[in-house]
Amino acid sequence: MQSHNVGTPIASSHALPQASKDTLAVLDHLIGTHAQRLVRRFYDAFLEDADGAAFLSHQMVETRLVHSLRQWLIDLFVSADTEAQRKIGEVHARIKLPFGLVIKGAALLKAEMSDLLIKSELDRAALASTLVFVDARMDWAMGLMSEAYMQGSMRRAQVDEAFRLFAVGQDVSLTRETQNAALMEWLQSILFPLLEGTSNADLVPLAKSTFGLWFHHRAGLIFQGAPGLEVIHSNLKQIDTIVLPKLQESRPTNGEEMRKLLARLRELVEEIKFVLSDLFQSIAGVEGGRDPLTRALNRRFLPTILGREVSIASSTGTPFTILMIDVDHFKQINDRWGHSTGDMVLQQVADVVMDTVRFNDFVFRYGGEEFLIALVEAGVNEGYEIAERVRARLAERRLRLSDGNHVQVTASVGVASYSGHPDYVQLVDAADRALYEAKHSGRNRTVVSQEAFAGTP
């Protein structure tokens, strides 16, 4: 370790940037004179911006925001209230205003204020220090807002996910049947008046039916972002805005046209049913935390576990090692005996792995025939030992095939230990490269990553 010249420390407590009395007086005057114009230009720009406009209406700007922003500017350069900045960050998080927009907004205000300052009578030195101060004070506010914003957004993401899983965990098969029935019920409510020739009976839009309301207000929560949602949404829209109005119009005068429209309606509804059934199918598989075949952990949890273990290792100084295990020549097994045999082999490989590691280790299915194991509080030597034990047990085990025959497989292993880098992805990459080496130097062997990040612990 060497000695360092210490520069300006980053204040952990978000210290408020200070300015001379003169600078404050200049800004006081500037804001007093131009606040209205600054604020107006700010919101004009915001309302012109597609992202920004989604959060604002002209009315809101007129009745409230113009006043609030003006007050914020005054407060920022006079009283500089820490809590006020945090509060704003919280509200922004609650309304899901993208933080990039907040930063852009601040940049806009800075630019406008700089413009005014440059046009002022200030001399070189005073101008420069005022520009620097305006910038620093704004950044101070951004720093506080961003903290509150992040906290609020993370908490929200957490609760959203909890609700989604709760909704998924509710009786899904019941929901599927209920909604199928609701869709059919709506269809009947359309078809009977048409068949009976009841003229003028209003056709209820699908979007307003029980099914439509469920779809708009619940399905999005359960199937978050699934592409199928778009299909249903578009079919729903087509039915309500094209097919239904035309049906209403054409009956009872035009039989041919009506037949066509009914065929189209049927098609659209059938597709909704089909896609919906697919969506329900998909969550049945994905929501489990474990890979259904091998019972190993789902790899989507890797960031949670590895991120956490890396930060435990970093803060407590305990070692942490990961193994990347890949079955050798697995493709040949699949090709020769078929996929269901391949699956049986994988299941037994996973059993060997899980029986060999310790109770508190984490075993993930990483890819087709690849497993990633997080060995908690294990250094590189212990990691190597466990890897070799897995490899040796696997090599001597006779795995059952469905036809009663047996097969033997080997595996290659890459080992990498935490060595100071805070990003777990680096660790995974190092293990991956070690595995690659194990493969290319003949397979059925363990290779330890020699990469050390900034010296080993």
Q: Which of 449, 455, 370, 374 is nearest to 415 (CA)?
A: 449
Q: How far is CA 238 from CA 195, 203, 206, 263, in A?
A: 22, 14, 10, 13
The verdict on 299 binding its own copies (CB under 8 A) reads: no
Residues 52-71 that bind its own copies (CB under 8 A): 52, 54-55, 57-60, 62-64
Which residue type occupies 448? V
- Which residue, 91 or 395, has its beta carbon nearer to its own copies? 91
User: How far apart (Å, rounded) are the C-alpha atoms in residues 149 and 455?
Assistant: 36
User: How far apart (Å, rounded) are the C-alpha atoms in residues 158 and 140?
Assistant: 28
The verdict on 377 binding its own copies (CB under 8 A) reads: yes
User: How far apart (Å, rounded) are the C-alpha atoms in residues 191 and 184?
Assistant: 10
The verdict on 10 binding its own copies (CB under 8 A) reads: yes
User: How far apart (Å, rounded) are the C-alpha atoms in residues 72 and 66?
Assistant: 10
The verdict on 189 binding its own copies (CB under 8 A) reads: no
User: How far apart (Å, rounded) are the C-alpha atoms in residues 198 and 219?
Assistant: 33
Using the rule CB under 8 A, which residue among 8, 79, 188, 253 binds its own copies? 8
**Neighbouring C-beta atoms of residue 330, cutoff 10 Å:** 18
Residues 316-345 that bind its own copies (CB under 8 A): none
Q: Which of 202, 195, 92 is nearest to 141 (CA)?
A: 92
The verdict on 283 binding its own copies (CB under 8 A) reads: no
- Which residue, 67 or 266, has its beta carbon nearer to its own copies? 67
Which residue type occupies 418? Y
Using the rule CB under 8 A, which residue among 34, 40, 273, 389 binds its own copies? 40
CB proximity list for 258: less than 8 A, separation 6 or greater:
194, 247, 250, 251, 252
The verdict on 159 binding its own copies (CB under 8 A) reads: yes
The verdict on 217 binding its own copies (CB under 8 A) reads: yes
- Which residue, 131 or 407, has its beta carbon nearer to its own copies? 131
User: How far apart (Å, rounded) are the C-alpha atoms in residues 349 and 369?
Assistant: 9
**Neighbouring C-beta atoms of residue 234, cutoff 10 Å:** 12
The verdict on 423 binding its own copies (CB under 8 A) reads: yes
Using the rule CB under 8 A, which residue among 16, 165, 181, 284 binds its own copies? 165
Q: How far is CA 354 from CA 172, 298, 400, in A?
A: 31, 14, 18
- Which residue, 329 or 358, has its beta carbon nearer to its own copies? 358
User: How far apart (Å, rounded) are the C-alpha atoms in residues 19 and 135?
Assistant: 12
CB of 98 to its own copies, least distance (A): 7
CB proximity list for 284: less than 8 A, separation 6 or greater:
172
The verdict on 206 binding its own copies (CB under 8 A) reads: no
Using the rule CB under 8 A, which residue among 71, 166, 241, 282 binds its own copies? 166
- Which residue, 41 or 393, has its beta carbon nearer to its own copies? 41
- Which residue, 109 or 415, has its beta carbon nearer to its own copies? 109
Using the rule CB under 8 A, which residue among 71, 163, 249, 259 binds its own copies? 163
Rg (CA), the chain: 32
* Region binding its own copies by CB under 8 A among candidate stretches 158-166, 190-198, 234-242, 267-275: 158-166
- Sign for the pseudo-dihedral over CA of 452, 454, 456, 457: negative
- Which residue, 117 or 435, has its beta carbon nearer to its own copies? 117
Dihedral angle at the C-alpha atoms of 292, 293, 294, 299, nearest 10 degrees? -50
CB proximity list for 339: less than 8 A, separation 6 or greater:
none
Using the rule CB under 8 A, which residue among 277, 332, 422, 440 binds its own copies? 422
Burial readout 148-181 (b: 16 or more C-beta within 10 A, e: otherwise): bbeebbeeeeeeeeeebeebbeeeeeebbeebbe
The verdict on 305 binding its own copies (CB under 8 A) reads: yes
- Which residue, 258 or 305, has its beta carbon nearer to its own copies? 305
Q: Which of 208, 272, 213, 273 is nearest to 244 (CA)?
A: 208
The verdict on 162 binding its own copies (CB under 8 A) reads: yes
* Region binding its own copies by CB under 8 A among candidate stretches 243-251, 352-360, 380-388, 440-448: 352-360
Using the rule CB under 8 A, which residue among 14, 34, 260, 273 binds its own copies? 14
Write each residue from 229 to 268 as x if it is in contact with its own copies (CB under 8 A), else as -, in one continuous string.
Answer: ----------------------------------------
Number of residues engaging its own copies in binding (CB under 8 A): 125
- Which residue, 162 or 263, has its beta carbon nearer to its own copies? 162
The verdict on 308 binding its own copies (CB under 8 A) reads: yes
The verdict on 2 binding its own copies (CB under 8 A) reads: yes
Residues 97-156 that bind its own copies (CB under 8 A): 97-101, 103-108, 110-112, 114, 117-118, 123-125, 127-129, 131-132, 135-136, 139-140, 142-144, 146-147, 150, 153-156
Q: Which of 430, 436, 337, 325 is nearest to 370 (CA)?
A: 325
